[in-house]
Amino acid sequence: MRTMLAFSAMQARCACLSNCEPVAHTAYSRSYSRMMEVTMTHARFRIAVAALALVATPALAQDKVRFQTDWIPSGEHAMYYGGWQKGIFASEGIDVTITRGYGSGDTVTKLAGGGFDFGVADMAAVMTARARQNVPVKTIAVVYSQSPHSLFVLKSSGITNFKGLEGKKIGITPGNSHKFYFPKVAERAGTDASKITWVSMDGAAMAAQLIAKNLDAAPFYSIHHYYQNKAAKAAGEEIVVLPFVEVGFKIFAATIIAGDKMIAEKPDLTKRFLRAIKKTFEFARDNPEETCKLHVEKIPEVALDDCLGSVRATLTFVYNDHSQQYGWGKESPERLDFTWKAMMRNGTTSRPSTPHSSRNDPNARAARRLGQAKRRPNAVPPSSLCWVITDA
């Protein structure tokens, strides 16, 4: 009996062991499996996060830049919009937003007020704002090394030269550089500028007002003639161009501008932005058709052939004998001197000094060190407007 009880007890213990050990083993196995699953999940998560970081890093590193042009986005501005679409700005770490302008004066004013980071404006508007009110905006690169300034008139008006504008009305936008320069042009053309009336209006309505004969002349860059004349012909009219350069008025025109604060506090961004701008023009020069296709994708209101006509005309003011001699974005001291003196003689500036303040300070300091500013009272030292593009 005792033997039977002992056997039963031993059997019970064995039964207990046989029942318990597998449970403990199973729990351990499940716990281990769960631990390994969690570990692998965490590992996969870390890998995914790392991969995402690698992909996202360039986007996170993009500097947001607000860029305003000087006018409506016609083919003249296809370089900027085409470059935006092509990813040229992004390749320089810039997330750019481009906004149309309402004249150079408007762009200078808004940039000075912090509304934009960079802009396109005529050098005359920058010099005037700087000289009159010490507006904290500077020219940092020349775009048009020869001025496309002109006045558009209708062939039916009978006006064939600047003298014919006496007693007539010319449209103008606030701060428009055509008005700044016209007295000098009139002087060279033997025209009495005091006999001309300037009518302020919205730049977007200028061409329509001319075609409707509410104006006798309208200020445009000659590069706009192609598409503006198409609109005129559709209305049974034809536009004739009166270029300022025909009377020997050779000045710098459109430039890239930046605020003093941007230049001082973010020189690397300024440099990268200018490098991107330079690339957009080089791309347009080598690929005008693709540039215009990209521009039209962004600005569908512009016809492809209008864009091509404007781009080809625009590039002649960018790439020419001057740019070959001095390089893209840079000025010659003689032409800058002429531009400045034209401003002074027309009474658009109030300081009888050199235009150092409208240019980048490092260049002015370098020029002063060379003593070139002392040669004559209104001399312009031969230093570059674009102080960073040299190694772009």
- Nearest Cα to Cα of residue 148 among 222, 77, 75, 217: 222
Asked if 190 contacts 163 with a C-beta cutoff of 8 angstroms, the reply is yes
Q: Is the domain covering 60-146+252-391 a CATH 3.40.190.10 domain?
A: yes
Three-state DSSP at 222 gives helix
Residue 212 clears pLDDT 70, i.e. is over it: yes
Calculate mean pLDDT across residues 340-364.
Answer: 51
Most confident of 6-15, 77-86, 343-352, 353-362: 77-86
Three-state DSSP at 80 gives helix
What is the pTM (predicted TM-score) of this model? 0.69
Enumerate the domain spans of the chain: 60-146+252-391, 149-247
Termini Cα distance of the chain: 104
Distance CA 19, CA 14 (A): 8
Beta-strand (E) ranges in the chain?
Answer: 63-68, 94-99, 118-122, 137-142, 149-154, 169-172, 197-200, 218-221, 239-243, 254-259
Three-state DSSP at 138 gives strand
Question: How much is the pLDDT for 20?
Answer: 40
Question: How much is the pLDDT for 227?
Answer: 87
Q: Please give the share of the chain, as a percent, with pLDDT higher than 90.
A: 55
> Are the folds of 60-146+252-391 and 149-247 the same?
yes
Is 362 or 140 the better-scoring residue by pLDDT? 140
Three-state DSSP at 302 gives coil
pLDDT tens digit string along 361-374? 333 333 333 333 33
Reported residue count of the chain is 392
pLDDT tens digit string along 220-241? 989 989 989 999 999 999 999 9
Calculate mean pLDDT across residues 105-121.
Answer: 95
Question: How much is the pLDDT for 339?
Answer: 84
Is 68 or 223 the better-scoring residue by pLDDT? 68
Distance CA 212, CA 221 (A): 20
Is 386 or 142 the better-scoring residue by pLDDT? 142
pLDDT tens digit string along 293-337? 999 999 999 999 999 999 999 999 999 989 999 999 988 888 888
Distance CA 242, CA 208 (A): 18
Distance CA 202, CA 223 (A): 20
The alpha carbon of residue 150 and the mean position of all alpha carbons in its chain are separated, in whole angstroms, by 23
Residues in Cβ contact with 294 at an 8 Å cutoff, skipping those fewer than 6 apart: 78, 81, 82, 85, 86
Backbone Cα Rg of the chain: 34
Which residue shows structure tokens 């409208």? 358
Calculate mean pLDDT across residues 134-151.
Answer: 91
Calculate mean pLDDT across residues 17-30.
Answer: 44
Question: How much is the pLDDT for 37?
Answer: 57
Residue 5 clears pLDDT 80, i.e. is over it: no
Please state the CATH superfamily assignment of the domain spanning residues 149-247 in this structure.
Periplasmic binding protein-like II (3.40.190.10)
Calculate mean pLDDT across residues 194-218.
Answer: 95
Residue 175 clears pLDDT 80, i.e. is over it: no
At 221, which amino acid appears?
A: Y
User: Within 13 Å and on the Cβ side, how many CA atoms surround 256?
Assistant: 29
Is 128 or 157 the better-scoring residue by pLDDT? 157
- Nearest Cα to Cα of residue 384 among 325, 310, 316, 341: 325
Asked if 105 contacts 174 with a C-beta cutoff of 8 angstroms, the reply is yes
Question: How much is the pLDDT for 86?
Answer: 98
